Amino acid sequence: MFVARPIAADHRDLIHDVSFDFHGRRMATCSSDQSVKVWDKSENGDWRCTASWKTHSGSVWRVTWAHPEFGQVLASCSFDRTAVVWEEIVGESNDKLRGQSHWVKRTTLVDSRTSVTDVKFAPKHMGLMLATCSADGVVRIYEAPDVMNLSQWSLQHEISCKLSCSCISWNPSSSRAHSPMIAVGSDDNSPNILAKVQIYEYNENTRKYAKAETLMTVTDPVHDIAFAPNLGRSFHILAVATKDVRIFTLKPVRKELTSSGGLTKFEIQIVAQFDNHNSQVWRVSWNITGTVLASSGDDGCVRLWKANYMDNWKCTGILKGNGSPVNGSSQQGVFNASLGSANTSLQNSLNGSAAGRNGKRTFFPSPTPFDLSQDTSSLITTKRNSKGLSKNTLYTFLY
């Protein structure tokens, strides 16, 4: 089972995001105090803050790591309408910080006219590329042509989604049979905007991204979205965090021929829908094999989901935001955090509220941020209280 360890985060305001690096040995946190903190895991399992600095002039919504193949590189995005790329370097012999590592701002991306709501590095097989999305409804994709010079980034693509963007996710598949894809979620509440998830695919003929699919059944505001790692599957799995947790499969069926080239058409099926949080769901994250999904909601809990041998998805564990696991409940189809089986059928779990959410995206009380390490051996989340998120406490759950 999972064992909780508290961490004194010492942020001066609400924590909005936490992110593990590729190996799960480092993590980064960001906050409304306009700062980012980097944490390193010691041999005894304790987390130590090794860097803390002001990164933006507004609340920092997201922070993300690049693949370690490109060095120790972070990106952050903020309400101040910018995204920033940071690199950790070691002081040289003529430096006052000789032998010490510190983080340096390499570039500031200033193309957005509104709050930058998400930032994600592309899968490493695509090179050092970075995508941002903004409340102005535009996804921007940048590339560093020289990975040894991170001060130079060029804007490669601008995707106009025609709706306010809240989150993005790259398809991590490295198969040559699959073109690069990026999914975009929206929290737009405009009455004329119904479908809240769009999927864009790179067209080799036009060398542009074009809309391949729209998930018409997702009509509530979307807070997070995540493609599952694809290890040999012929189809894609996409998790969506909205008023509940939804898992979709996208099976390629054909190339849609157009005057400008071919786009893949998909058979889209919803394979799971859970409202166990009984609240808005703010984050979803996969393990490295795409077999375990974690979600967090306004109920202050993180839930783990796993498919059984019949491909029925079940909740296999609940972790409370105060650092304690929750014992199983037959009403919610949960036994314990040992990834055992659940006794609620998939059909029963498909019954959810159809009510939408009114108003624009709100950050106070803030969503419960968390991240799942690549090997699913640890998970990080924040402590909640009646006024939102604690700014002083993080919890790691070690499996």
Q: pLDDT tens, 88-132?
A: 998 765 556 555 789 999 999 999 999 999 999 999 999 999 999
325's enclosing H/E stretch is: strand 325-326
Report yes or no on 397 lying in a domain.
no
Tell me the CATH number at 335: 2.130.10.10
Contact 140, 116 (CB under 8 A): no
Summarised one tens digit per residue, pLDDT across range 219-242 is: 999 999 999 998 888 899 999 999
Report yes or no on 167 lying in a domain.
yes
Report yes or no on 244 lying in a domain.
yes
Summarised one tens digit per residue, pLDDT across range 271-281 is: 999 999 999 99
Report yes or no on 75 lying in a domain.
no
Summarised one tens digit per residue, pLDDT across range 354-371 is: 223 333 333 323 345 556
Report yes or no on 42 lying in a domain.
no
Which residue, among 74, 38, 39, 36, has the nearest Cα to 55 in the 3D structure? 36
Q: Bridge-partner residues for 257, per DSSP? A: 262
Report how many domains make up the chain: 1
Report yes or no on 254 lying in a domain.
yes
Summarised one tens digit per residue, pLDDT across range 306-341 is: 998 888 999 988 888 666 666 544 334 332 222 232
Joined tokens for residue 157: 């693509």
Joined tokens for residue 381: 């989340």
Report yes or no on 46 lying in a domain.
no
- Residue 155, φ and ψ in degrees, nearest 5: -75, 115
Distances (CA, A) of 262 to 175, 236, 251, 253: 17, 19, 16, 12
Task: Show the CA angle centred on residue 294, arms to residues 133 and 398, nearest 5°.
Answer: 120
For residue 249, what are the domain limits?
163-362
178 Cα distance to chain centroid: 21
